[in-house]
Amino acid sequence: MKRQILSLITIVFLFTSCGENFLETFPSNAISSEIAISNTNDLKNAVNGMYDLLSSYGYYGGTAFYYGDVKGDDIQSRAQTGRDSYKCYMYSHAANNMGAGYLWGRPWYTIRQACNIIEAIDNEKIKDGTETQINDYKGQAIAIRAMVHFDLVKYFGYPYAKDNGASLGVPIVDHVLKLDENPNRSTVAQCYEFITKKLETAIPLISTEKNNGRINRYAARALLARAYLYCGKNKEAFETAQELIEEIKNNGQYRLHTNSEYISSWDLEHKFNNESLFEIANLSDDNEGKNSLAYYYHWWGYAEFIATTSFVNELLSDPDDVRCDLLQKRTQNNTDKWWLRKYPGTANNVPSYENNYIVLRLSEVYLIAAEAATKLGGTYTTQGLEYLNDIVSRANPAKSVSTSEFNLDRVLLERRKELVGEGHRFFDLLRNGKTIVRKGGLHLPNAPEEIDWNYERCVLPIPVAQFKLRPDMEQNPGYARE
């Protein structure tokens, strides 16, 4: 069957990121625009296709995580390679070759799939199923579409706090685009307004039931708290995180791992564990193989990533911190190097392809509330400090943070220790106006040493092909249009 022609914006994104062949290949359980979504089985398949798009190496199968790590000060490339991860570490982005995997094309293709799902439901094409079931699918699609816009504005737009969101973000796509539609870039502020409003719309529609590999209401609320934090709505971030934490404490559906559970929680057999709100599912027969994030991290895989000397020294300064056990030292050419073991294989010498990757985790929600509280001050301090100490004392029961020590830098330090390898550090520093310092240790020659939000390459370039169809679209500063 001849498939409906993709919208111009999607064509350009796919040519830029995936190559021509990708235009001819839809996920095996995705539904193209021309195929009618007329029942809940069609709808389920379309939703599965949407999640499959997230799981590719060029997105949440790899790139979305390492992008936020190797551009920061915790994780670095081990050696010079031609891979996208090394280009991200070096900030060697160019408009005709972004050096960041699929971070322009794959997200937009996911948005297109989500829009197809939402449109089919809104047009009352589904002829069976309950209202609750259909609303759940719709809510998931709205939430994923918001999440993908959130990702795009992080990659291609400057941090909100730099200019209160006045600079350009990305196009906002809230419907299935027609052939002649090619929307222009919205501001960062407009993007965050869209993201938060759509998440607020989605949350009541989504089921609260744990749905492995799928976003549920709790995960969507965690995502909303994160989005509020990124756009400076600290009161909303704190209250959203607090309400989620307290509700979960009462119903027991999720909980923080204990100190004794922490290290084993990252093992393969503990997928979809007590802390995991939303994670990307990978199976032994459906994964990215040697292109997977786990293979890039594993010392018997590509061993592409190592922990930076500054991070290792910071974490090991408290040897009783349970998270120290997530580091493994190996000596190469008389040099000690440290690998992160958050994505272990089945054995020390067997990297695994089927690791899952956690997108939203309960520990982050506690840290969102703590960070927002440092910025709000006053009556928020007591509860924010309590949430921070839940994480600090879980790592080392003998440790806690005092009221006098409770400030933004202390929360960012805890985020550094807790969320390493999960794609946060670069964005944590940048969105708070901090300078990323990458000097000494094992850093590779010619790698940028100090990065802040005034460094033009802290955002990615709009691909050059986009300007052929939208000549008036602005490029990010410092990048070419051709």
Chain centroid to CA 6: 26
Distance CA 371, CA 401 (A): 14
Q: Give the residues across from 280 on adjacent strands.
A: 357
What pLDDT, on the 0 to 100 scale, is given for residue 101?
78
Q: How far apart are CA 259 and CA 144, in angstroms?
A: 32
- Domain ranges in the chain are 9-215+449-473
Cβ atoms 141, 117 nearer than 8 A: yes
Look at the pTM and tell me if it is higher than 0.85. Answer: yes
Strand partners for 97: 94
Model confidence pLDDT, tens digit, residues 348-369:
788 888 889 999 999 999 999 9
| CATH fold label, 9-215+449-473 | 1.25.40
What pLDDT does residue 285 have? 64
- Angstrom distances, CA of residue 332 to CA of 73, 78, 336: 22, 11, 6
| Residue reference for tokens 């349970």 | 322
CA atoms within 13 A on the CB side of 215: 30
How big is the chain by its Cα radius of gyration, in Å? Answer: 22
Judge contact between 476 and 188, C-beta under 8 A: no
User: In 3D, which of 128, 221, 216, 114 has the Cα closest to residue 175?
Assistant: 114
Residue burial 247-263, b: 16+ Cβ < 10 Å; e: rest: ebeeeeebebbeeebbb
Q: How far is 292 from 158, CA to CA, in rounded Å?
A: 28
Q: Up-side HSE of residue 149: CA atoms within 13 Å toward CB? A: 33
- Write out the chain's pLDDT in tens, 482 residues: 223 323 434 433 333 333 322 222 222 233 444 457 999 999 999 999 999 999 988 999 999 999 999 999 999 999 998 889 999 999 999 998 888 878 999 999 999 999 999 999 999 999 899 999 999 999 999 999 999 999 999 999 999 999 999 999 999 999 999 888 899 999 999 999 999 999 999 999 999 999 999 999 999 999 999 999 999 999 999 999 999 999 999 999 999 999 999 999 999 889 999 999 999 998 766 677 788 899 999 988 889 999 999 999 999 999 999 999 999 999 988 999 999 999 998 777 888 888 899 999 999 999 999 999 999 999 999 999 999 999 999 999 999 999 999 999 999 999 999 999 999 999 999 999 999 999 999 999 999 999 999 999 999 999 998 898 899 999 999 999 98
CB neighbour class for 285 (10 Å; exposed up to 12, middle 13-18, buried from 19) = exposed
Q: What token pair was written down for 264?
A: 């084993």
Contact 192, 227 (CB under 8 A): yes
CB 335 within 8 A of CB 442: yes
Residue carrying structure tokens 């010392």 = 299
- The answer to whether 185 and 165 have CB atoms below 8 angstroms apart is no
Residue 252 Ramachandran class (φ > 0 left, ψ -120 to 50 alpha, else beta): left
What are 311-339's pLDDT values in tens digits? 999 999 999 999 999 999 999 889 999 99
Which pLDDT value is given to residue 284?
Answer: 64
